[in-house]
Structure 1
Amino acid sequence: MVKHTPKLTSSEVSMLWSTYIGDTMSICVLTHFLQTCEDQDVKPLIELALGYSIEHVAQLSDLFTKEGIPIPNGFGKQDVNLQAKKLFSDVTYMRYLHHMGRTGLNSYSLAKSVSARKDVRNLFKEFSNQNETLFDRNTELMQEKGVFIRSPYMDYPEKVEYVTERKFLGGLIGHRRPLLGVEIAHLGINIEVANVAKTILLGFSQVAQSKKLSDYFKDGYELGKKMVEDFMIKLKEDDNSYPSTWDSTITNSKEAPFSDKLMLFHSNAQSAIGIGDFGLAIAASLRKDVTLNYEGYILKLGAYAEQGAKLLIDHGWFEKPPQSIDRESLRNQNK
């Protein structure tokens, strides 16, 4: 008996679509990184990441064609200028790979968990395995070169204890208990993520063709800077260690390696990643002042992302994601 292959679910279509868009963007970014990379130890990692993205686009294009789904436009050769000079340092390239690899660890797991069809689950499993390989190799190279950003350290607990007082949850004023290990971990991660965003956005602001977009990227840089300062304060209040200084080496190039469209989309993607990270941090944090801090930045980052989405729409660059049928509109057509 021949088994019938069911249609893709809404979750599967959405995850496949966003993965395709992200990989076309990655191809553009990584192609320029590879063109300008000077460190012979870093080049093979960029080549590996680029090869994976090219392979993903081919596999997803084939699946979309078989399913009768239009292949998204995404990004292409018109969105990258291989003649443009180097904008970021090779250390930034490694940290970029680390940041995007960490994001991939989360997104591919989520994509597989919401997928029903075996071929789609296998596809995301393959993507996840590739991402883990790249992530591990890049992490090891960063450690070898002494540029890996470790989470803050803390003393080991000496015994098992139980919470006996509600003041453990803390308040907005007065004495607060020391931060939990998990709270320290999330603050450290979010400092690192904000630092990645700061570097990328500052570089984008330097080369954007549009003055409005240049200002927008600079605003994002300032928002990231404020996040880092506030998260560092939380760590320093309890005399905790904190991540080392971020290498934000940006050249003096004024040539844009990427189109304004790609840089704006990239900025919005970073905002989405940040909002997701803050949501996870809220779920893991019990001190009220810490969760309130994250909640405030979710609102600010959400407003920044909304402004970016409006700019994409205004420029005609917002490719509509898959969506359900507008039944109300169909009904009105018959009236």
Structure 2
Amino acid sequence: MTTQANLTASEVANLWSAYNDNAATIIKMKYVLAIMEDNEIRPIAEKTQQFAEQNIEQIKQIYENEDHAVPVGFTDADVDLTAPRLFADTFFLVFLQNKFTMNLTSYTMGLTHSTRSDIRDFFTQCIDTSEQIYNETTDLMLSKGIYARSPFIPVPKTVDTIERQNFLTGWLGNRRPLTAIEIDQLFFNIQRNAIGHALLIGFSQVAKAKEVREYMRRGADIAEKHIKVFNSVLTEEDLPSSMIWSSNIEETTVSPFSDKLLMYEVAGTTQAGVGYYGQSLASAQRRDLGSHYMRVLGESLEYGEDGANITIKHAWLEEPPQAVDRRRKI
């Protein structure tokens, strides 16, 4: 008889994150499906909910086999299914596409950081389903005419090498044109901030606690500022920007979700944003771009920390699994 190896710290971490994310998704999709009117978007929302429910059951089974405590996550107490519509159906579609973009990143990390075959199988299934739903959301956005393509540039006909140091110039002197890699990073950072901006404005309307409303408003202002920074670089080169989604917000002040869930959603997008900015910084080869990314990265880290302090204050933040503090045992 073969004995299954204990879970590694990496496996514990990624399963714990996946559990909480899927628990939140189930609650969010209950509300989305309660107010959804678009019959083309509804099947995707239903598939998303079913996917999250299946993931929760699989992780619970792993936890049971390992005698691992099950996170509290989120429950029906975190949603008001009678709340009025907060966003247009098309924004929910855009939100889902962005969610599965982040899912593909987090589940790929879960796969590549896991050792046990059952855990790798779980994350492989998650990647496969996330890829399917991502493609469905993208195809539907294209058919509805709400997918913003990144800018077009001429197709290179020759291959050249960089021969001068001024390729890195950015602060002073004549700046070279943006590379395709830099355009890609700028465009999708604008797109992600545009989604976050709309989300935060909506949340600032409905959050129950004053400090949570103020935190959401501050986040919307930061997202708007970052959009302007990245837009200015593209505009300087006569390149188009992404779409803005704030017109998709309704006027309601009744929250469909608990402040705990609102803060969790913003924490997740902020954490993902920090990761994307780090990737953009690593790929930027013009000094002015590096300076922009360093600044927005610092602002995002500070904003995320302030959010964590709010969730800790209200006992909304579950403590993640930790190593043994052996110093306390001395």
**Which residue number in structure 2 is paired with residue 296 of structure 1?**
295
TM-score normalised by length of structure 1: 0.97
**Which residue number in structure 2 is paired with residue 175 of structure 1?**
174
Matches for 1:108-257 after TM superposition, within 5 Å: 108-246=107-245, 248-257=247-256
Q: Which moved more, 1:167-176 or 1:307-316?
A: 167-176
Letter in 2 for 1:26: T
**Which residue number in structure 2 is paired with residue 317 of structure 1?**
316
**Which residue number in structure 2 is paired with residue 308 of structure 1?**
307
**Which residue number in structure 2 is paired with residue 279 of structure 1?**
278
Letter in 2 for 1:66: N
Q: Distance in 1 between matches of 2:53 and 2:317?
A: 23
* Paired residue total: 330
Give the conservation status (yes or no) of the 8 Å contact 1:92–1:247: no
Distance 1:320 1:300, change over 3 A: same
Letter in 2 for 1:278: Y
Q: Distance in 1 between matches of 2:236 and 2:270?
A: 27
Q: What SS is found at the alignment partner of 1:248?
A: helix
Structure 2 unaligned regions, length at least 5: none
Letter in 2 for 1:215: E
Q: Distance in 2 between matches of 1:152 and 1:328?
A: 55
**Which residue number in structure 2 is paired with residue 79 of structure 1?**
78
Shift of 1:247: 5.4
Q: Distance in 2 between matches of 1:182 and 1:277?
A: 13
Q: Distance in 2 between matches of 1:42 and 1:261?
A: 27
Q: Which moved more, 1:171-180 or 1:20-29?
A: 171-180
Give the conservation status (yes or no) of the 8 Å contact 1:261–1:317: yes
Letter in 1 for 2:78: D
Within the alignment, does 1:264 sit opposite 2:263 as a pair?
A: yes
Q: Deviations over 1:249-280 (max 9, x none)?
A: 11111111000010011111110010011011
Letter in 2 for 1:19: A
Q: Deviations over 1:222-266 (max 9, x none)?
A: 000000011000111112222234353111111110000100111
Give the conservation status (yes or no) of the 8 Å contact 2:87–2:202: yes
Shift of 1:54: 0.8
Q: What SS is found at the alignment partner of 2:83?
A: coil
Q: Deviations over 1:160-203 (max 9, x none)?
A: 11100011011322221110000000101100100111111111
Give the conservation status (yes or no) of the 8 Å contact 2:201–2:246: no
Q: Deviations over 1:281-322 (max 9, x none)?
A: 111111111111111111100000000000001001110001
Q: Distance in 2 between matches of 1:240 and 1:6?
A: 53
Matches for 1:60-79 after TM superposition, within 5 Å: 60-79=59-78
Letter in 1 for 2:177: P
Q: Distance in 1 between matches of 2:240 and 2:159?
A: 23
Q: Deviations over 1:206-232 (max 9, x none)?
A: 000111110000000000000001100
Give the conservation status (yes or no) of the 8 Å contact 1:275–1:298: yes
**Which residue number in structure 2 is paired with residue 22 of structure 1?**
21
Shift of 1:126: 0.3
Percent identity among equivalent residues?
A: 32
Q: Distance in 1 between matches of 2:51 and 2:107?
A: 14
Q: Deviations over 1:85-115 (max 9, x none)?
A: 1100111101001100111111111110010
Letter in 2 for 1:190: N
Shift of 1:48: 0.4
Letter in 2 for 1:74: G
What is the aligned-residue RMSD (CA, Å)?
A: 0.9
Distance 1:245 1:271, change over 3 A: closer
Distance 1:244 1:209, change over 3 A: closer
Letter in 2 for 1:105: L
Give the conservation status (yes or no) of the 8 Å contact 1:154–1:240: no
Give structure 1 regions of 4+ aligned residues with deviation exceeding 4 angstroms.
none
**Which residue number in structure 2 is paired with residue 95 of structure 1?**
94
Q: Deviations over 1:66-103 (max 9, x none)?
A: 10110000111000110101100111101001100111
